[in-house]
Structure 1
Amino acid sequence: MDYASLIEKRRERFAEVEKLITDPDLFSDQKRASETMREHRRLKELLEMWDELENARTNLQENEQLAKEDDPEIAEMAEMEIPELQEKIETLSEKVQYSLLPADPNEDRDALLEIRAGAGGDEASLFAGELMRMYERHAETRGWKIEHLDSSPSEVGGFKEVVLKVSGEEVFRFLKYESGVHRVQRVPATETQGRIHTSTVTVAVMPEAEEVDIVIRPEDLHIQATRSGGPGGQHVNTTDSAVQITHLPTGLQVKSQDGRSQTQNKEKAMEILRTKLYEAKVREEEAKYSAQRRALIGSGDRSEKIRTYNFPQSRVTDHRINYTSHNIEGIMSGAFNEFTDNLQKAEMEQRLAEANMD
């Protein structure tokens, strides 16, 4: 399919958005300003990719002509550059295709990452802690910032539950594929007979809500201070600094205990509440997204899994795309880009087919 006409429409829209962002009145509406700036960045990136793609195509044509030259040295040099240009064109074409699809409004958002031990007791809580560290290392490589909003440590040094805020560029776009049940197969340190045990951890990735997305009335909240639980989170609290908030209209309950003060914990708990209410709103408005999320997150039961980490065989398999890696050590160190890349490609192919753009 020739995308030139679609690109021309994006150029026209980019010119319109360029004018919009020079209007000082735009920033009096925080939500509109935020959406406009996101659109500006997306269009700018698309047009830059398209120009790079066009240049690569031109260079390829020139090299193909030079490869037919009588001068063997020139022909050889041109021939050597052709595979690299072909690969570049293929990669850029895929990126342009993806960028031409209607944007998910949540892709540019920061995310809340909820990791919860499922089936498997102590071993599940230990693996929850390992997944937490995997995501922390992954965030470092992408230049993202991680903030602990809440955690419930287990007695064996793992976590029953952890809530992290991940901030940076296009966080939700890249982390959303982590939502689901992660299954681990290995011999626990406490196992004396060398038997392999299977445990599960549920991961939920939610796009962070902005204050303009959800209006929460003070009278709809029941806020109470509680004593921090567990053997110690990010900071060991010995006072009643933990905060639990109940949203009365929905019955939704959230808490935070990892902050250094009651005020900090209240702010963090409100952030979690706002995001969970926003997610519920998105589920209502977008039935398709809701169905996808229900299918991915599951209940933590062994039968509902998106990925299996088999330590004895150094194997990690993503069951949604039937993709297997034998680099379990690297993946647990945060290098799971190969899964993200393949999942993005699979999603793109599905969306292109639905949009009749393939």
Structure 2
Amino acid sequence: MKTKIIQITSGRGPSECCWVVAQVLKHFLEAIKQNGIDYKILQREKGIENMTLQSVTVQLKAKTLNQFLSQWIGTIQWVGVSKFRPQHKRKNWFVALNEIEQKQHFEINENDISYQATRSSGPGGQHVNKVSSAIRAIHEPTKTQVLVMDSRSQHQNKKIAKTRLQEKVTEIQLQRLKSSIKNQWENHLNIERGNPIQVFKGFDFKKNTIVKTYKKQGNTLKNELREQLNN
């Protein structure tokens, strides 16, 4: 099972780009579901305007992801009139969809877990306390631990402990990843314009045919880039 972390970002673009991020997220999630990919939203950074997002980070899980992401990774363009500034002359807005390098390992190694048998306590009468059936599982690299006494079977408690420890370690790693992502501005500053992987048009956000050559649009895109940085 492959795991990838994807970020959709407006860069430091204006509210129009933040609106585009929110719309792209809807289409991206629809495509994820259609392809049977498991996902989890890790972080949302709200924009200034209502119903807008500066960035959103999504974790994807599937056997294969490269082919699906080849249709999404890159610059995404929306062609339309600003809903926040209708008189604005600009008609092309850009956001980026990037893969974030993962430094965390979300799957724990069995060799990194130590198990300790201990006597159960609490409800269950004297019988439950006669045998050391409870299991304490410790993930040595992170020192995360869980105590399981659900069953009178030590073997069963060990299986449950491993599952719960995996969940706990994963949650800790996700929280660290969220903090890392929140402070990561590299993707925000590197939105390439002029060669979008996807193009959408209008307020209904319909997919548009991508123009194959951008020679005539060079000066226009440069002006738009300066304009976005100024805004």
The two structures have a TM-score, normalised by structure 1, of 0.34
Higher relative contact order (CA 8 A, sep 6+): 2
Would the aligned equivalents of 2:40 and 2:60 in 1 still touch at CA under 8 Å? yes
Q: Which residue of 2 aligns with 1:160?
A: 54
Structure 1 residues 207 and 180: CA distance shift in structure 2, 3 A: same
Aligned partner (choices 308, 311, 314) of residue 201 of structure 2: 311
Quote the offset at 1:126 in angstroms.
0.7
Quote the offset at 1:316 in angstroms.
3.5
Q: Which residue of 1 aligns with 2:23?
A: 130
Length, aligned pairs only:
150
Would the aligned equivalents of 1:112 and 1:207 in 2 still touch at CA under 8 Å? yes
Gaps of 5+ in 1: 1-107, 219-262, 276-293, 321-358
Q: Alpha-carbon deviations, 1:115-156, whole Å to 9, x = none?
A: 111253101111111111111101111112221111111121
Would the aligned equivalents of 1:184 and 1:309 in 2 still touch at CA under 8 Å? yes
AA of the residue aligned to 2:29: E
Aligned partner (choices 54, 68, 74) of residue 180 of structure 1: 74
Would the aligned equivalents of 2:20 and 2:78 in 1 still touch at CA under 8 Å? yes
Specify the SS of the correspondent of 2:210: strand
AA of the residue aligned to 1:140: K
| Inter-partner Cα distance in structure 1 for 2:194 and 2:64 | 28
| Inter-partner Cα distance in structure 2 for 1:172 and 1:271 | 22
| Inter-partner Cα distance in structure 2 for 1:138 and 1:110 | 17
Specify the SS of the correspondent of 1:200: strand
Quote the offset at 1:194 in angstroms.
7.2
Would the aligned equivalents of 1:184 and 1:198 in 2 still touch at CA under 8 Å? yes
Gaps of 5+ in 2: 113-140, 143-168, 214-231
Q: Greater helix percent: which structure? A: 1
Q: Which residue of 1 aligns with 2:37?
A: 144
What CA RMSD, in Å, does the superposition of the two structures yield over aligned residues?
A: 4.2
| Inter-partner Cα distance in structure 2 for 1:132 and 1:314 | 14
Quote the offset at 1:192 in angstroms.
3.1
| Inter-partner Cα distance in structure 1 for 2:188 and 2:211 | 15
2:110 is the counterpart of 1:203: no
Would the aligned equivalents of 1:111 and 1:206 in 2 still touch at CA under 8 Å? yes
2:11 is the counterpart of 1:118: yes
Structure 1 residues 162 and 317: CA distance shift in structure 2, 3 A: same
Quote the offset at 1:170 in angstroms.
1.1
Deviating more after overlay: 170-179 vs 121-130: 170-179
